[in-house]
Structure 1
């Protein structure tokens, strides 16, 4: 087995180090942190799970993707051979080392925690990975230990690691830890470095050289950085734009050569017009590039274009080629038919934004499973092979997540933590929640966005047909919009929309700046600041089968109030090409200038770059699924798009603070109103000195109310990951809330209004027993588009100013310049900007003549 150079042990404070650490090999994640850490990892990251003393089902950890699990000696004995030996690491303390040789025969890794400098040799072990952890290491001592301990590896907690080029007396530099055992046999001290593509594995991109300086910068920036033997540090793509995203860095068996696995962007790696320094791609890699190119540029009506837009045709071809492969007999026939099947199967993948890399990841994930299905064919295929009539399969009308049992009467219960009984590290864990990492999704949405950019309306129509099942002659609706009939929009629904619209508009009109800010900073020098609307904005309203007029109101009203000249509202069409009458009615109310009947990444791309029919916008607002979020992140970083987005997005969340006056029914309903959003919803109750009976009443209501919900399965999973934090007083509760920075904060307090003055970090605050979050979500007047994942520390929710920008001006009179000018000249001279100084001098000279 091959061990990493060092194994980072993740703690709650280590999230900022993960991008660099994930490049270097597996991470060691405590089982209790898995749910919080996994969503933040890059897609390619590999990990072990520290599962000793964990209540988690050990085999399920391996099935979920862990390469290996670290177990205690008692756990190892209980497993009794259920887990393959290559997936097990046993953790031993000093007293348990007497049994190390016996255990070593049944596993491929031993993890030793000891103040003694053990090595594989001193333990009498060979052909087995040895992981060492010193309880109180120093950075300098660790560097020396890593150099001398190979092939053993050191386990290093992230609390003593730093994403910096050099180590300090308290923290060990990640690049230095990686570079510690590396040696060079070259006179110049450089390391040969093979650069390979993470998306194409058929051949390497090229051979370059690295220095310790270039490796350190590559790890810290996650970019391809090398050492040119002629020109020094070489940051790939710095001038050409053909940058590389670094996916992983590895060593060869002798620790004297490196391999960089990268995602290559732009024109490519080689200076010649070819894919690699060893020629072009071949085989599957070449086919993938060809299909991606044809997805983007195949002319309408061509066979390839039909494969990407006609699902029935592609489905038929895959089934036809699969049958022909099954019928093939000779070696040549099997190879020929397999090639045809691979072609059409890969076309299916490309049409859905799936790369060969994604397929390889799926294969790797399947290979990690310990538990296996029986593997029999489905009944309809067995019947077909046996010549029996095929019975149609019954399917549920609504998809049921596999993780949820159809009937589950078990109690729906939150876990509980007493804040003052937790140490600093344990308190940090309570603040963790998943953070969206969209790098993998961005790669998936790139072909979709790029197709809209290149093909314009034709590409948009084709993808609307493909993804939204609507065959449209145009994706755009222009005003005047018809008022939906009473059959389409019942009067009571219309009235509810009107109430919400008026309240939201009233509150957002009040946010509008009435007059410019004017300040005379010194006699004759007048500075001002004034607001102007962003001219063209796009608002994304999720739709299709869903009906979300509330989102249309929350985004359309501030755009209207701010005075935006162009408001493009994007929403997926229904199969007949129409959009929901509720959203259409709101579009008319808020003065939308264009409705874009499209969803997903293609809608974001159309608004970001514009087409002949779709106006280009300057800023995009609105929620959406992971495709929409990734597309927004992609376009905001493209200087050609010149488009901004509203804010970072993540799972919805609520924090409720409750004291002895709180009504258990109300508290439970508030927690569940957030839990039903999704299984990743974040739900926290901070209970101030509540009696055990009061807590029991709240938990009883959570169970009763949740089981009455149609989305009970989703709520159940969200509640499993939620927590009740027990505190002694209101100050502790508010301090915890300010550190958590929730999207929604609900105050069930005796003096709820008085507590608001102490709230520093929150998206929106709901004050008192009769202010449920639902009011803010729909109709009270505040906006429901709010920062999540702790970003309430830095971001505001969407408001009128979100749709405006500020311009400053200054008016300097002659007398003002006489007073101000000498200071400006002196500062410009100090900075060496003589033209700046001269622009003032010539005016002062002219004034002196007067």
Structure 2
């Protein structure tokens, strides 16, 4: 934690700058060239509030290593929610502090308040308003300089002073400049009789020892950059002055109570401890110990030793790194993964040490990467990707990854665990899904959404050309749709018609025509009735994929519910057309418009509307992480006034099976979800199955997968999947309820009897002849379902998803006579006099 922050603009003395960098972040203006963009110095960037917003520059500054950006309130609406809150500080004038909304306050990590004077009482009250946020205070005038007592009181109140670097010096304090050591130590407090401060000395995050500092020793360390402490026996102690084991001070921090210090140093010589060890707390362990050993071996490895061979033979070292990486990728158990990771770390660190790179350098590189707001797509390089052959049905294929998948002879098998022996931590791990980096994705889609919001159709056309490789002259198709755009193979058309009829019949049965009417007390009648959401947007993934099923599952309930406008958004093919299957379904469900666009741009167009794209009130449909992030972004923007169906994640299935199951059926059900993508979640809960019975299912998974067109995807998803052994059907269902799967398939004896026990699932498939595929296409239920455990809170898409419910009440004279005094009493208790008056004025009228 910093005692104060310097505002650095231009012309700062280099030695002063170095000393300031040891005490915490520097605040730099966008015009300052005092610190290079790619410097490792911790820095905040202060943007000029009179300049126009440039979101790209904000992102560039953060990507270049800035810890935070300080932005004016005028920019906040465009930046908050796009840039992570922990990277934003809000610039406020003292007069507009109270104008900050809760949403804005929650979207930043702190505030920088510009004030003409340091009013500690006022800042203390501001701190209470911004509870949990960092408070920085910048006096607008540097003449006269604030007294040290004011700075101390400000720091004690929980605020961090910000001082212009021009008013700071390494020399003695004067009327025009303050010594930075005086400022830093002014806020320190000591509860010791000798006035010293306990000081923890660390190197690369590891404690070297505990010493004591005085005001004098701290000041000298700040100025010289060397480790200087206070010996309780001998006075000022300049570390290494006699032994040569000196320290370079990288950072001096004060703790949250302002009574202890941490010196982060680079130790030279034999070490910190007087016993000639690196640390007073014992020898190094783990990676630090390995690095020390490798550096020793690099300097003087025994002739013929294995480590010497690695240092002298780069090709051998490269081969070992690749070998261990492959073995780590194929490891299954916790113990195997730890063992293989340790091998990989050893060879990787050998490579680093040979090049003069240490653990500290790696950690600094990690810290720098962590500061990036934007991220590369993260796709594997071509040499690590096996290029799949396009499938004959023209459907999209997910990218293939990992060296392990290139071995066609490797068995395709799932990991097996036993609930009876699993610890609470292991059981929790079984329930875990992949981490969805929502904030990171929202930051990426934000600029796309903003462009469509601002420039409408022009931006849509540009993004469609860029992302879908389709050059269009218009974005939207309106009915009547051209017959030639819906020409289909008769068998496909018949299949769509059957599916449409079944889905329509099931969803039509969900319509509640009659209003709910209840007389809660004599003379008081309450009712609830439904109305369709007027305008809905349906996102149907497309491009190379052909997904009429998704168009059916979204379009039919919208049609049945009575939505007035149904906008179907789907990416066009490269020639600008829409697949005829989707066109035909759009015609069947009465779509009022078809938006030829995909991704975040399609979501934005439906959320805000353009000249040609109608604005909608609710957006439905699955999509990749870009689509999901855009849906989450627009639903939180009050300007859009749009809601979404549900959060989305990778497809998933959980199958419960006992000894009555057919192994080939269970395997087929598992594979039907495993083929969706490499991140698909597939779980088998085996109820009292023997090892032989589990192996039979595993054999079928491997055998059937090899005959499928998307086997390369399955090679990635199946090894990440689970077989969980349960001792009873009840235990299996309890685990399933905790997991809350998107699809639940029950292969149990008398499977339908278990349905009352199911509490959390998107859709349930009962018995051996109910494959999940039927629900996906044509049984009648909906396949747009909650994933990632959200089946605990959300239903799948249904007719009522496209409706809203309105309540009403009608009260007679007698009803108000009975109910009115109750209402007035409660209103009085809550201090809402106008509420009580609205009742009493009527009661008085009745008795007049």
Please tell me the TM-score bracket, short chain as reference: 0.5 to 0.7
- Supply the distance in 2 between the matched residues of 1:508 and 1:271 (Cα, whole angstroms): 64
- Supply the distance in 1 between the matched residues of 2:374 and 2:641 (Cα, whole angstroms): 35
Following TM superposition, by how much is the alpha carbon of 1:361 offset from its aligned partner in structure 2, in angstroms? 5.8
| Structure 1 segment 421-820 matched on structure 2, within 5 A | 421-484=421-484, 488-820=487-819
Which 10-residue stretch deviates more, 464-473 or 647-656? 464-473
Scaled by the length of structure 2, the TM-score of the pair is 0.57
Following TM superposition, by how much is the alpha carbon of 1:528 offset from its aligned partner in structure 2, in angstroms? 0.2
Quickly say closer, same or farther: Cα 1:270–1:812, change in 2 above 3 A: farther
- Supply the distance in 2 between the matched residues of 1:193 and 1:462 (Cα, whole angstroms): 36
Following TM superposition, by how much is the alpha carbon of 1:459 offset from its aligned partner in structure 2, in angstroms? 1.6
Query: 2:206: which partner in 1?
Result: none
Q: Is the 8 A contact 1:748 1:767 kept in 2?
A: yes
Quickly say closer, same or farther: Cα 1:441–1:270, change in 2 above 3 A: farther
Query: Helix, strand or coil for the counterpart of 2:576?
Result: coil
Following TM superposition, by how much is the alpha carbon of 1:205 offset from its aligned partner in structure 2, in angstroms? 4.8
Following TM superposition, by how much is the alpha carbon of 1:435 offset from its aligned partner in structure 2, in angstroms? 3.6
- Supply the distance in 1 between the matched residues of 2:763 and 2:108 (Cα, whole angstroms): 37
| Structure 1 segment 63-82 matched on structure 2, within 5 A | none
Query: 2:288: which partner in 1?
Result: none
- Supply the distance in 2 between the matched residues of 1:374 and 1:577 (Cα, whole angstroms): 33
Q: Is the 8 A contact 2:373 2:443 kept in 1?
A: no
Contiguous gaps of at least 5 residues in structure 1: 6-191, 209-219, 249-268, 280-354, 376-393
- Supply the distance in 1 between the matched residues of 2:537 and 2:634 (Cα, whole angstroms): 13
Query: 1:837: which partner in 2?
Result: 836
Provide the aligned length of Structure 1 versus Structure 2: 528
Quickly say closer, same or farther: Cα 1:418–1:592, change in 2 above 3 A: same
Query: 2:410: which partner in 1?
Result: 410
Instruction: Map Cα deviations across residues 122-177 of structure 1 (whole Å, 9 max, x no partner).
Output: xxxxxxxxxxxxxxxxxxxxxxxxxxxxxxxxxxxxxxxxxxxxxxxxxxxxxxxx
- Supply the distance in 1 between the matched residues of 2:388 and 2:736 (Cα, whole angstroms): 44
- Supply the distance in 1 between the matched residues of 2:441 and 2:451 (Cα, whole angstroms): 16
Misfit runs of 4+, over 4 Å: 192-199, 201-208, 220-232, 234-237, 239-248, 269-272, 276-279, 355-363, 372-375, 394-400, 404-407
Q: Is the 8 A contact 1:538 1:570 kept in 2?
A: yes
Scaled by the length of structure 1, the TM-score of the pair is 0.57
- Supply the distance in 1 between the matched residues of 2:423 and 2:383 (Cα, whole angstroms): 46
- Supply the distance in 2 between the matched residues of 1:602 and 1:756 (Cα, whole angstroms): 41
Following TM superposition, by how much is the alpha carbon of 1:457 offset from its aligned partner in structure 2, in angstroms? 1.3
Which 10-residue stretch deviates more, 239-248 or 612-621? 239-248
Q: Is the 8 A contact 1:205 1:270 kept in 2?
A: no
Q: Is the 8 A contact 2:69 2:89 kept in 1?
A: no
Query: Helix, strand or coil for the counterpart of 1:583?
Result: helix
| Structure 1 segment 312-391 matched on structure 2, within 5 A | none
Quickly say closer, same or farther: Cα 1:536–1:227, change in 2 above 3 A: closer
- Supply the distance in 2 between the matched residues of 1:593 and 1:827 (Cα, whole angstroms): 49
1:200 to 49, 61, 67: 61
- Supply the distance in 2 between the matched residues of 1:599 and 1:651 (Cα, whole angstroms): 18
Query: Helix, strand or coil for the counterpart of 2:627?
Result: helix
Query: Helix, strand or coil for the counterpart of 2:538?
Result: strand
Quickly say closer, same or farther: Cα 1:373–1:711, change in 2 above 3 A: closer
Q: Is the 8 A contact 1:226 1:235 kept in 2?
A: no
Following TM superposition, by how much is the alpha carbon of 1:360 offset from its aligned partner in structure 2, in angstroms? 8.0
Quickly say closer, same or farther: Cα 1:781–1:484, change in 2 above 3 A: farther
- Supply the distance in 2 between the matched residues of 1:446 and 1:600 (Cα, whole angstroms): 12
Instruction: Map Cα deviations across residues 205-238 of structure 1 (whole Å, 9 max, x no partner).
Output: 5699xxxxxxxxxxx9858679999899x79954
- Supply the distance in 1 between the matched residues of 2:399 and 2:792 (Cα, whole angstroms): 37
Quickly say closer, same or farther: Cα 1:225–1:590, change in 2 above 3 A: same
Larger Rg: 2
Query: 2:24: which partner in 1?
Result: none
Query: Helix, strand or coil for the counterpart of 1:410?
Result: coil
Query: Helix, strand or coil for the counterpart of 1:695?
Result: helix
Query: 2:310: which partner in 1?
Result: none
Quickly say closer, same or farther: Cα 1:771–1:395, change in 2 above 3 A: closer
Quickly say closer, same or farther: Cα 1:361–1:504, change in 2 above 3 A: closer
Q: Is the 8 A contact 2:59 2:373 kept in 1?
A: no
Q: Is the 8 A contact 1:226 1:236 kept in 2?
A: no
- Supply the distance in 2 between the matched residues of 1:399 and 1:783 (Cα, whole angstroms): 24
Q: Is the 8 A contact 1:225 1:236 kept in 2?
A: no
Quickly say closer, same or farther: Cα 1:361–1:691, change in 2 above 3 A: closer
- Supply the distance in 1 between the matched residues of 2:164 and 2:557 (Cα, whole angstroms): 56
Q: Is the 8 A contact 2:89 2:108 kept in 1?
A: no
Q: Is the 8 A contact 1:484 1:585 kept in 2?
A: no
- Supply the distance in 1 between the matched residues of 2:428 and 2:374 (Cα, whole angstroms): 36
Instruction: Map Cα deviations across residues 547-586 of structure 1 (whole Å, 9 max, x no partner).
Output: 0000000000010011000000001111222100000000
- Supply the distance in 2 between the matched residues of 1:654 and 1:425 (Cα, whole angstroms): 22
CA RMSD between the two structures: 3.9
Following TM superposition, by how much is the alpha carbon of 1:482 offset from its aligned partner in structure 2, in angstroms? 3.0
- Supply the distance in 2 between the matched residues of 1:673 and 1:471 (Cα, whole angstroms): 35
Quickly say closer, same or farther: Cα 1:528–1:838, change in 2 above 3 A: same
Quickly say closer, same or farther: Cα 1:642–1:223, change in 2 above 3 A: farther
Following TM superposition, by how much is the alpha carbon of 1:469 offset from its aligned partner in structure 2, in angstroms? 2.0
Instruction: Map Cα deviations across residues 734-784 of structure 1 (whole Å, 9 max, x no partner).
Output: 111111111100000111010101101100000000000000001000000
Which 10-residue stretch deviates more, 828-837 or 402-411? 402-411
- Supply the distance in 1 between the matched residues of 2:752 and 2:502 (Cα, whole angstroms): 21
Following TM superposition, by how much is the alpha carbon of 1:627 offset from its aligned partner in structure 2, in angstroms? 1.1
- Supply the distance in 1 between the matched residues of 2:164 and 2:71 (Cα, whole angstroms): 10
Query: Helix, strand or coil for the counterpart of 1:511?
Result: coil
Instruction: Map Cα deviations across residues 671-713 of structure 1 (whole Å, 9 max, x no partner).
Output: 0001001111111101111122221211110110011111111
- Supply the distance in 1 between the matched residues of 2:569 and 2:449 (Cα, whole angstroms): 15
Q: Is the 8 A contact 1:411 1:703 kept in 2?
A: yes
Query: Helix, strand or coil for the counterpart of 2:685?
Result: strand
Q: Is the 8 A contact 2:535 2:566 kept in 1?
A: yes
Q: Is the 8 A contact 1:193 1:207 kept in 2?
A: no
Contiguous gaps of at least 5 residues in structure 2: 3-41, 47-57, 73-83, 112-136, 141-161, 166-368, 391-396
